[in-house]
Every structure is written in C-alpha cells, then in structure tokens.
Homo-oligomer: A and B are copies of this chain.
Amino acid sequence: MTLVWMVPATGLAAVLFALWLAQDVLRRDTGTPAMQEIAEMIFEGAMAFLSRQYRTIGILALVTAVAVAVLVGSISDGVKPIQFQNGQVSFATDVVIGRWQEGLLTGIAFLVGATCSGLAGYIGMFIAVRSNVRTAAAAQKSLKDAVTVSLRGGAVSGFLVVALSLLGVSGIFLVYSRILDHPPEIAPFLIVGFGFGASFVALFAQLGGGIYTKAADVGADLVGKVEAGIPEDDPRNAAVVADLVGDNVGDCAGRGADLFESMSAENIGAMILGVAIFSVTHKIEWIMFPLVLRSFGIIAAMIGLISVPFFTDAAPKSKQDPMTPLNYGFYVVSALSVAGLFIATKVMLGDAWYWFFFCGLVGIATGIAFVYITQYYTAGSWRPVQEIAEASKTGPATNIIIGTAVGFETTALTAITIGLALIGAFALGSQADISPAIPPFTTGIFGTAVATMGMLMSAAYILSMDTFGPITDNAGGITEMSGAPESAREITDKLDAVGNTTKALTKGYAVASAGLAAFLLFSAYLDKVKERLEIPLTAELPIDLSKVDVFVGGLLGAMLVFLFSSLAIRAVGNAAGAIIEEVRRQFRADPGIMAGTSRPDYAAAVDITAKAALREMVLPGILAVGMPVAVGLIFRYARHESVVTSLNGITYTAHDASGWLAVSGTLIIGTIVGILMATVLNNGGGAWDNAKKFIESGGLKDENGNTLGKGSEPHKAAVVGDTVGDPFKDTAGPSLHVLIKLLATITLVLAPLFIKSGSVTKTGTPTAAPGGTIEQHAPGLASADTLQDAPAQAVAH
C-alpha cells in the first residue's frame, strides 16, 4: 500500500481549508467607519505595492525563464536514463530527452514555481490585509475573538503556501513523468527548475518587501518622531500608512515566499536523493515519500490550528497570555507529526523504516529546539534581552556593543543544534541497510532529508503564526489611528507583543530548515554533476577543501554573504531617504497637515516607497543570482584542476573540474556563513527590539529601584538599538535565508554551465560490486557501454 493518494487529497483539502478560513474571516464585523477607512488605505497600499512588485518580478522571472531554457538547451547533453547495472547506479549513454526539450521543460518548471510562489503570496496578503480591520473590530469584543480572527487570517496564507508547494511539485512531477511519459527516476531532475523559480520569486519578494517595510518604518520614525516631534502611528504623518503596509509585505508575503521555497526546494532535493534508492529497489515510494510526509504535516497543522481556540478557554481569565494557546497548538501539531511520521515511514520505507523514523524525530525535535532557542535570545524574560536593556543605562554605544555581542553569541546554539541534527540524522540514516548496492553515504543523506521533512511538517502552522504578526500589528495601528477605546488597544498591544515573538520564531525556524536543507541540496547538486560527468551516482565525488579553487570559491561565498547583507542594509537607508523627502515635501506644501485640518496624501508616500524599494532590490538581487554563475564560469575557463574518484575498480578522473569545484565551495561555505549571519541579524535585531519593549514595560530599574521607563535616557538608547536592528532582522536577515536556498537551486539548475562535457577519463579493471549478486541486470563485469575506455594501466596526463 502506498499513501500517494494522500498528496492530492491533502493538497486540495488544504486549499479548501484556506478558502473556508478566508470566508470565515471575510464575513466578520469590519468595525467602525473610521477603522474601515484606514483599513481601506492599507489594503489599497498593500495591493498597489504587490501589483507593482509582482509585475516587476514577473518580468524578471519571464526573462530569466527564457534565459534558463536557452542556457540549459545550449549547454546540456540532454537527459539520460538511470540504470542499475553491475551493482552500481549510473546513467546510461542514450539520451531519452533531447537538450532543447530539457531546456523547455526546465524553463516551464521555473515559471510554474514562480507563479505558484507569487500566487500564494498574493492571495495570502489579500486576506491578511482584510483580516487586520476585522481583528481590530474583534478586539473591541474579546481577546479570544481577536486571536481567532487574526490566527485564521494568518492561516489562509500559511495553508495556501504549503498547499501550493505540495500541489505544484506533485503536479509538475505527475505531468513530467506520467503524462509526458518519462521514467519517474529522471523526473525529479527535470523539475529542479520549479525550485529555482520559487527561489527567484522568494529572493525578490523578501528583498523588496524587506526593504519596503523597513524603509517605511525607519523613514516614518525619523521624519515623524525625530524631526516633527509627533507620536508613532500619528495620522498627520504621511508615511504612517506606508509603515502599516510594510508590515504585511515584509512578514506576510516575504516570509511566505521564503518558506514556499524551503518546502519546494527541499521536496525536490529529497526526491532526487530518493532516485538512487528507487533505481535499486524499484519502489516508487522512495521518490514519493517527501510529498506524502508533507501531506501528514498538513493534516497535523489543520488539527493544531483548529484546536487553538479551545486552549484559549482553558487558561484562567486573569492571565490571558495569547502565546499560551499558540504554544499548545504547536504541541498538538508536533505530536500529530510524530504519529504521521510513524505511519509514513512504516508503510513506505521498507524493512529499515525505523531508522528513518528516528531521523524524522530528530527533525521535529530540531524544530522545537529552535522555537525555544529563539525565544531565549529574543524574549524579555531571559538574560540576553535584559543584558541589552541594562547596557542601555550607559548610553546607545554600550547598547549596541552588548547587542552585537548577544547577536554573535546566538550562533553558538544555532550551529551546535544544526550540527547535532545533521550528524544525528546522517548517522541514523546510514544504519539503514536497504541493499548492498546502496552505500551508507546515500541512506545517510536520505536520513538528513527525512529530518528536514520532519521539521517542515509543522510549516503551515508556523507560517500561520507568522502572518498572525503583521495582522495584529496592523490591528494595533488601526485601533490607534481610529481612536478606538483603551480596552481594545490593550488587547491589540498584547497580540502585537506575541506577534513579535511569533515572527522571530518563524525566522529561527526558517534558518534551521535552510541549514538542514542546504546539505541535502548540495548532495543533489553533486548528483547532477555526476550525471553530467557520467560517473555512477553511488561514487563519491570529493570536493576537496585543500584545493585552491575550492578554498577561493569558499572565500568568495563567505564574502557574498557579507556583501549581500551590506547592500540590503544600505538599500533600506536609501529607500528611507525617498520617503523622508516625500513627507517633508507634503508638510511644506500643505501646512494644514501638521495642524490636523487636511489629510496627508498617504497613497503618494506608499507609491514612492514602493518604487524606491523595487529599485533598491535590483542590485543585491543581481549579486545573488550573478555571483555563483560568475564564479563558476571564471573558474571553468581560467583554471584546470582535476578530481579523481574510484568505484568498483574503475578510476574516474574529471579534468577541468575547477568550475564546479569552485561553485561547490561558494555554495557550501556561503551557506554556512549565511546561516550564521542570518542568525546574528535576526536574533540580534529581535533582542534589540525587545530590549526596548522591556524598558517600555517598566522592566528596567536604576540603582535605587526606580523604574527607567519610556522617555528615560536608557529608553532613548534602546530606541537607537531597535532602529539599528530593524534592517538587520527584517531585511538583511530574512533575505539571507532566501539567498542560501537560491545558491542551492541556481547551481542545481545551471550546473552544466560549470562543467566541461566529456572531461572524464576512466581507467582500471572493473571488479565485482558489493551489490553485484542481487541485482536484476546482468551481473559481473561492466558491459561495454558503461565502460567506454578500455581497461588500462594508469594513464599519465
């Protein structure tokens, strides 16, 4: 029995669930006319930005899709079938899909991936900016209602993202294997374009959204609070609507695209890793497993989400912390994920299933660990945030110094947890003995893939919590601007604080999943290199760090992370300059604005910020896409390193390997540095933010026990830290998650660009392979077509 039927079933169920949630949210009370007016402006601004952004991204994606199709068509050798012969999994020499057809299929997959990602972001945003005013209205009634509305509004985005990723990947897989009638084991290689398309959209969505949100935030603060001396969210500030719009485009659309990409790329990577096992066992389950496990995740997340309102009632009325029911919901998701993992592995993964079950448990545990690590470093109840608040007593400089130290420190637990998870999953997976022809290395890597899948089972729920953030943030702004009663403001403030935590959690979760996924995507890249070089899939291809090409490629990869962060941070400053100019212009042009008699032109401020943000996203975007390609091409033509590997008596020497070697260095070391830098930026920024909130909530005392609250000198110092942290945690950090995955997918799709065709020589006499006795093809020595070069003595070259 396979569980493959679950994939379309749960995918459709998730879509229906999202539609039901959307309908439920949309039919709710939209509050007072004042609220509706503000909400309408936010809605219009958000949709205007989104349309403009997706139009830009659409054009870029179309051009890139054509470029990818042409590039792959011109450089590829076409796709060869995978065969299991003589105890080893390798590519045959006949071409079943011509190179131009491969290019076309890759380009189409790219466009489908890009479209699905865009669609998920657009619809999710559409509901999110409809949910904010309904949350504000609900907050006038009760906390429970407000939590329900905002969480359901967020869940529309969360479930759509997961459903579209699942349906997209499985749909294109179905079309490329069954309908176009290609062997199922080569289809995963054809759909890597889907992952690249998703990364591409995610990069620009996250960059553009991140730049927009922080430019509006920093700009509104500087021109309003600092220059004009009016409070935050004051309706006289023309930038204030742009600020509220920004919360949505960064956290909702951006993070949605980010996790859409995580799931898609990870699904495809895991399917590619399953190919080697499928080729030996001929059980399609090894390829379909990632999709089925994701289906169980969707069910778990649905039930978890539905359960949240029950936990709201369970807590005593007196101390209603909205984080408590959300945490209980997450426990429900985790528990059900374990159950789903058990069923999926037991039914699908053969006799050695339990090893992979343990791998999945490692992944689920990693997800939970990251939820706690992020809370420790960014919530006010623990040492790090309090330490930053304490340092604010001696001014902004010490606030920044200690904040930086805290940010750097967060890498320790991150690296150790990811390291343990990888080693643990790999070691457990490599214990699984499926067939003598499948080396422990292959099952080990598959184990890390299962861990990543296990972790991402809760993605829909986590994303719902994430989008909950901007919705409640907006609800607070609407409540403030519409002059709603104090009791409603209290509820939205509470929700807003929880939203800050859930946003931080999602980023930690995204980093961890990127870290786990990186390793398996790198393995998929190496499989692609082996395909191109006609080296058996089960041979190891060493990416030797002591080779100068790998070292320098790695140095450049690490540098890419720093330079990209620099550009992203700077982009915020530039775009903020644009909105500041506009608000100043409006103040000058109409003195009535400041007097409160005329309404500022919010739409103009939204529009100018949107244009600036989209302009500013181009340079870092080009760097991210262009640098790995440039490294690969330069090294391919300038250097001529060789790589040697042996399998079953045959020695394969890949000449002119510098291109793909250097790219490997860039990819892996860029990933390692990217994970850590994203952690520093996300958690450092979050800690600064909450240190300010800690002071505002009266947590900081002077030596005589007096509270140093809002308006005190330490508070001013903490505001500096918070402002510094803004572009770190909402622009550069989240964009780095996407950069990491983009590096993986772009190299996967464009690998042939970096590889000289026919650059491998084979020497030696084939010997019996470990699995040579159990396979179904002719056992014994290599057949003529897999060993083209005659057995020979060592050839000097």
What residues make up the interface of A, taking CB atoms closer than 8 Å to B?
218, 222, 226, 391, 394-398, 400-402, 404-409, 411-412, 414-416, 418-419, 422-423, 426-427, 444, 448, 515, 519, 522-523, 526, 540-546, 548-552, 554-556, 558-559, 562-563, 565-567, 569-570, 572-573, 638-639, 644, 646, 648-649, 651, 664-665, 668-669, 672-673, 675-676, 680, 719-720, 723-724, 727, 767, 770, 793-794, 796
Which B residues are CB-close (under 8 A) to A550?
Answer: 545
Is the CB–CB distance between A444 and B562 below 8 Å? no
User: Complex formed: what's the CA distance from A184 to B540 in Å?
Assistant: 38
Is the CB–CB distance between B545 and A545 below 8 Å? yes
User: Complex formed: what's the CA distance from A416 to B550 in Å?
Assistant: 14
Is the CB–CB distance between A426 and B548 below 8 Å? yes
Is the CB–CB distance between B794 and A562 below 8 Å? no
Is the CB–CB distance between B548 and A526 below 8 Å? no
Contacts A396-B396, A767-B793; A573 near B405 (Cβ below 8 A): yes
Task: For the complex formed, measure the closest distance between the CB of A516 and the CB atoms of chain B, giving whole angstroms.
Answer: 11
User: Complex formed: what's the CA distance from A698 to B556 in Å?
Assistant: 38
Is the CB–CB distance between A664 and B545 below 8 Å? yes
In the complex, which residue of chain B has the Cβ closest to the Cβ of A667? B545
Is the CB–CB distance between B552 and A423 below 8 Å? yes
User: Complex formed: what's the CA distance from A546 to B573 in Å?
Assistant: 39
In this complex, the member of A222, A397, A664 whose beta carbon has the largest number of chain B beta carbons within 10 angstroms is A397
In the complex, which residue of chain B has the Cβ closest to the Cβ of A569? B405
> Of B398, B444, B562, B644, which contacts A548 at CB under 8 A?
B444
User: Complex formed: what's the CA distance from A723 to B402 in Å?
Assistant: 12
In this complex, the member of A418, A554, A565, A719 whose beta carbon has the largest number of chain B beta carbons within 10 angstroms is A554
Which B residues are CB-close (under 8 A) to A793?
Answer: 767
Is the CB–CB distance between B394 and A222 below 8 Å? yes
> Of B569, B669, B723, which contacts A554 at CB under 8 A?
B669
Q: Which 9 A-B pairs have the closest CB atoms?
A: A408-B566, A415-B559, A542-B542, A397-B723, A542-B544, A411-B562, A543-B545, A419-B552, A409-B566
Is the CB–CB distance between B401 and A573 below 8 Å? yes
> Of B544, B558, B573, B720, which contacts A676 at CB under 8 A?
B558
Which B residues are CB-close (under 8 A) to A724?
Answer: 397, 400-401, 404
Which B residues are CB-close (under 8 A) to A222?
Answer: 394-395, 398
User: Complex formed: what's the CA distance from A309 to B419 in Å?
Assistant: 57
User: Complex formed: what's the CA distance from A394 to B226 in Å?
Assistant: 9
Is the CB–CB distance between B545 and A546 below 8 Å? no
Given contacts A401-B727, A544-B545, A648-B794, 11 further A-B contacts (CB under 8 A): A396-B397, A401-B723, A401-B724, A411-B559, A411-B563, A418-B555, A422-B548, A558-B676, A646-B646, A672-B673, A767-B794
User: Complex formed: what's the CA distance from A548 to B420 in Å?
Assistant: 11
Which B residues are CB-close (under 8 A) to A563?
Answer: 408-409, 411-412
User: Complex formed: what's the CA distance from A416 to B548 in Å?
Assistant: 14
22 contacts between A and B (CB under 8 A): A218-B397, A226-B394, A391-B573, A401-B727, A404-B566, A404-B569, A406-B566, A408-B569, A409-B563, A411-B559, A415-B558, A419-B556, A422-B548, A423-B548, A423-B552, A427-B639, A542-B546, A544-B545, A551-B668, A555-B675, A555-B676, A646-B646
In the complex, which residue of chain B has the Cβ closest to the Cβ of A519? B551
Is the CB–CB distance between B546 and A541 below 8 Å? yes
Is the CB–CB distance between A408 and B794 below 8 Å? no
Is the CB–CB distance between A720 and B400 below 8 Å? yes
User: Complex formed: what's the CA distance from A544 to B404 in Å?
Assistant: 33
User: Complex formed: what's the CA distance from A448 to B419 in Å?
Assistant: 32
Which B residues are CB-close (under 8 A) to A419?
Answer: 552, 555-556
Task: For the complex formed, measure the closest distance between the CB of A414 and the CB atoms of chain B, giving whole angstroms.
Answer: 8
Which B residues are CB-close (under 8 A) to A543?
Answer: 544-546
Is the CB–CB distance between B401 and A572 below 8 Å? yes
Task: For the complex formed, measure the closest distance between the CB of A647 and the CB atoms of chain B, giving whole angstroms.
Answer: 10
In this complex, the member of A218, A542, A555 whose beta carbon has the largest number of chain B beta carbons within 10 angstroms is A555
Which B residues are CB-close (under 8 A) to A558?
Answer: 411, 415, 672-673, 676
In the complex, which residue of chain B has the Cβ closest to the Cβ of A770? B796
Which B residues are CB-close (under 8 A) to A723?
Answer: 397-398, 401
> Of B416, B544, B555, which contacts A672 at CB under 8 A?
B555
Is the CB–CB distance between A545 and B665 below 8 Å? yes
User: Complex formed: what's the CA distance from A259 to B638 in Å?
Assistant: 34
Contacts A400-B724, A415-B558, A646-B646; A408 near B565 (Cβ below 8 A): yes
> Of B405, B541, B573, which contacts A570 at CB under 8 A?
B405
User: Complex formed: what's the CA distance from A222 to B394 in Å?
Assistant: 8
In the complex, which residue of chain B has the Cβ closest to the Cβ of A557? B672
> Of B218, B401, B546, which contacts A526 at CB under 8 A?
B546
Which B residues are CB-close (under 8 A) to A411?
Answer: 558-559, 562-563
User: Complex formed: what's the CA distance from A546 to B660 in Å?
Assistant: 13
Which B residues are CB-close (under 8 A) to A719?
Answer: 397
User: Complex formed: what's the CA distance from A416 to B549 in Å?
Assistant: 13
Which B residues are CB-close (under 8 A) to A218?
Answer: 397
Is the CB–CB distance between B422 and A552 below 8 Å? yes
Task: For the complex formed, measure the closest distance between the CB of A379 and the CB atoms of chain B, giving whole angstroms.
Answer: 19
User: Complex formed: what's the CA distance from A396 to B153 in Å?
Assistant: 38
Which B residues are CB-close (under 8 A) to A673?
Answer: 558, 672-673, 676
Which B residues are CB-close (under 8 A) to A407?
Answer: 566
Which B residues are CB-close (under 8 A) to A555?
Answer: 415, 418-419, 515, 672, 675-676
Which B residues are CB-close (under 8 A) to A409?
Answer: 562-563, 566
User: Complex formed: what's the CA distance from A570 to B403 in Å?
Assistant: 10
Which B residues are CB-close (under 8 A) to A408?
Answer: 562-563, 565-566, 569
